[in-house]
Amino acid sequence: MGLLRKDKNTGLHYAASSGLKRCVEFLVNNGAPLFIENVDNETPCDCAERAGFSDIALYLESKMVFSNDMAVDENEDAAIVSIDLQEEYSGLKAQDLQEAKDQLLVETSDMLRVPLFTAEALLRNHEWSREMLLEAWMRDAIVCCEKSGVNPPSSVFEDLMAQSSEDSDTLRSVTPRHHGQSDILCDICANYIPSDETAVPMSCEHRFCRACWEGYLNVKIQEGEAHNITCPAYDCIKLVPVELIEEIVSRDMARRYLQFDIQAFVDSNPNIKWCPSPGCIRAVKLPDMDGASGVMSPVQPSIASKLPGDTSRSVDCGSGHYFCWDCLGEAHAPASCENWSKWFQKISEICPEALCDTSGAVETSANILWLVTNAKPCPNCKSPIQKNEGCNHMKCSKCKHDFCWVCLEQWKKHSSATGGYFRCNRYDVSKKVDEQTEVQKTEAEQKHMANKEMHKFVHYYTRFKNHDNSFKLEEPLLTTAKEKMLILANAVSDPATADIETKFIEDAVHQLLKARRVLKCSYVYGYYIEEVGIRKPIFEFMQTELEEATENLSQMINRPYLRTPRNKIIGQAQLVTRKRHDLIGAIARGLVPVDLSPGNSRKKYSFDVDFSQLEILLGNTALMWIEVRMRST
């Protein structure tokens, strides 16, 4: 059955294209190869699809996706089920926020030996930064307390007395006054308040026994009505002061109370922001720059000052809302907020979509028209091709020519595996630099310069727009792919685990879309990066790597029938995620040679190409950077 003919069709190819379902099942159950391709690079599944036998195509697809017999690469872990790597910025549910605040409060309270409520007031007054608070505390604890509006705790005076007994005159009484009470009825339990019990001082003079107070406050805190707890007396609207609450309730209950007040925690914390999407109740924290730490720590001093001005940070609230940390608008990293708005200003000035009507540069107009209409002639046979998938690897249905949608070059030139380089993202400015050095410029030359400027804009705009189009074409995969996968999984496995077994496709689409968004915005970043120096080749190299990985992932998952085993798809999605983190991380560190960047001890750029390829790709300017990196490994 595996006998090869000239057209390289196997028995399974014939059975699939002839619609012989029973025969297909028989062959598959007896080990017929699923992934083998004929001369037209078609698997049996593709043949069934082309011949219109969708039930056979579905059957073969499920066998391919969930096949385990495919040889797994050395570096791939067969057991991986989830794609999600640690994100640079992660969303926080109310629960996470409460835990973060609780942890910070308890640690600070223990460290400074102050009550929880005092710790909260102190932290609130120091942007929730324990470092800032500690600095102020070490300078002068009493001033620090007074500025934060709290009474200095007795521990401060004990410390002072231990240091010097002469300072004892600054000691103020902070212990509650004790005075006996008798013959007073508690309005709740109607018992006499014990005479040796310390009074609970309310300004409204309402009196209750301590046991009733504690019971009342516990109920209120457990009900989540932590704020605006009023006096238990009927019709009394006097608020119970927080110091009183902490004095009465247990420490555990006090922690619960403080956890509810996350609004102020977020509002006054420079490292946490609410998701700006209407109705979303999530928040986002700004953790370590290298994203390697999984430890929740809201304390990140001076992180903003480390970020270069030519970029921005995109964050994900965890409910599918991506936004810019810096301007709260649509996510646009790595482009900076300023360049992002300049870019749209430029688009509205140039009106690229209207350029096709003018009699300007013919090539320019044609380029843009192609991208706007999503239709181009095949570069080989000139027959018209409509683009309806996100992937940029196009195959002409007439002449089978493989080409790149963006630069119209042969696709095989785009892979390092076949000796070529994926380089259609690079913008060559060598001619332009020569011209800039000339002092004399005739009018004709100036016009030429303007054309060059336009050419540069078109180069970046077309690639920007292309990723935008791909994003829109790939977005529906989130629902369609997931639905189809569920049907598939039901066919091959226990329906109870079908959801888990198909989650990979959803994760992969999410990673694909995130990469598309970053790639799209990276062309805005690239448009504004300085044209001389080492930063641009480094940026373009990493952009290329992300682009290549992304196109490969798109080819795997953006097709009518999947023909890639699950493990391969998961591995590719992880690669895309890593390359995206690498690019964003490198830009955040200023695209400096890796060993010179501060605070980068853990993460290294990883290159899959050898040194000689890099030399050709980057040119001599980048060589010293590479050498620095190589010496360190």
Query: Which residues are marked as active site?
Result: 391
Interacting residue with Zn ion among 312, 339, 522, 567 (CB under 5 A) = 312
Residue 384 corresponds to which amino acid?
Answer: P
Applying CB under 5 A, does 399 fall inside the site for Zn ion? yes
Applying CB under 5 A, does 424 fall inside the site for Zn ion? yes
Looking at the Cβ atoms of 147 and 238, the one nearer to Zn ion is 238
Residue among 322, 392, 371, 298 nearest 584 (CA): 322
**Closest distance between Zn ion and the C-beta of residue 514, in Å?**
15
Applying CB under 5 A, does 277 fall inside the site for Zn ion? yes
Contact assessment for residue 456 and residue 367, using Cβ atoms and an 8 Å cutoff: no
Applying CB under 5 A, does 94 fall inside the site for Zn ion? no
To the nearest 10 degrees (0 to 180), the angle between helices 443-474 and 430-437 is: 150
DSSP 476-531: THHHHHHHHHHHHHHHHS-GGGHHHHHHHHHHHHHHHHHHHHHHHHHHHHHHHS-S
Applying CB under 5 A, does 275 fall inside the site for Zn ion? yes
Q: How far is CA 250 from the centre of its chain?
A: 40
Looking at the Cβ atoms of 204 and 366, the one nearer to Zn ion is 204
**Rounded CA separation 355/371 (Å):** 12
Contact assessment for residue 64 and residue 34, using Cβ atoms and an 8 Å cutoff: yes
Sole residue written with tokens 């409460």: 98
Applying CB under 5 A, does 602 fall inside the site for Zn ion? no
Looking at the Cβ atoms of 189 and 630, the one nearer to Zn ion is 189
* Site track 235-264 with Zn ion (rule: CB under 5 A), x = hit: -x-x--------------------------
**Closest distance between Zn ion and the C-beta of residue 256, in Å?**
23
Three-class SS of 400-426? CCEEECCCCCEHHHHCHHHCCCCCCCC
Applying CB under 5 A, does 92 fall inside the site for Zn ion? no
Applying CB under 5 A, does 398 fall inside the site for Zn ion? yes
Return the residue nearest Zn ion (CB atom). 424
**Closest distance between Zn ion and the C-beta of residue 187, in Å?**
8
Interacting residue with Zn ion among 142, 327, 361, 594 (CB under 5 A) = 327
**Closest distance between Zn ion and the C-beta of residue 455, in Å?**
17
The strand pairing partners of 375, in sequence order, are 386
The strand pairing partners of 323, in sequence order, are 315, 330
Interacting residue with Zn ion among 132, 280, 372, 429 (CB under 5 A) = 280
Applying CB under 5 A, does 412 fall inside the site for Zn ion? no
Q: What is the helix, strand, coil percentage profile of the chain, to 5?
A: 55, 5, 40
Looking at the Cβ atoms of 137 and 422, the one nearer to Zn ion is 422
Contact assessment for residue 50 and residue 58, using Cβ atoms and an 8 Å cutoff: no
Indicate the burial class of 505 (C-beta count within 10 angstroms; 0-12, 13-18, 19 or more): buried
* Site track 339-378 with Zn ion (rule: CB under 5 A), x = hit: ---------------------------------------x
Residues 207-236 that bind Zn ion (CB under 5 A): 209, 212, 231, 233, 236
Applying CB under 5 A, does 185 fall inside the site for Zn ion? no
Q: Which stretch binds Zn ion (CB under 5 A): 355-363, 388-396, 438-446, 514-522?
A: 388-396
**Closest distance between Zn ion and the C-beta of residue 36, in Å?**
25
**Closest distance between Zn ion and the C-beta of residue 609, in Å?**
18
Q: Which residues have CB under 8 Å from 443's CB, separation 6+?
A: none
Element (H, E) at 613: helix 611-618
**Rounded CA separation 566/572 (Å):** 10
**Closest distance between Zn ion and the C-beta of residue 421, in Å?**
10
**Closest distance between Zn ion and the C-beta of residue 408, in Å?**
7
Applying CB under 5 A, does 498 fall inside the site for Zn ion? no
Residues that bind Zn ion (CB under 5 A): 186, 188-189, 204, 206, 209, 212, 231, 233, 236, 238, 275, 277, 280, 282, 312, 317, 319, 321, 324, 326-327, 337, 378, 380-381, 396, 398-399, 401, 404, 406-407, 424
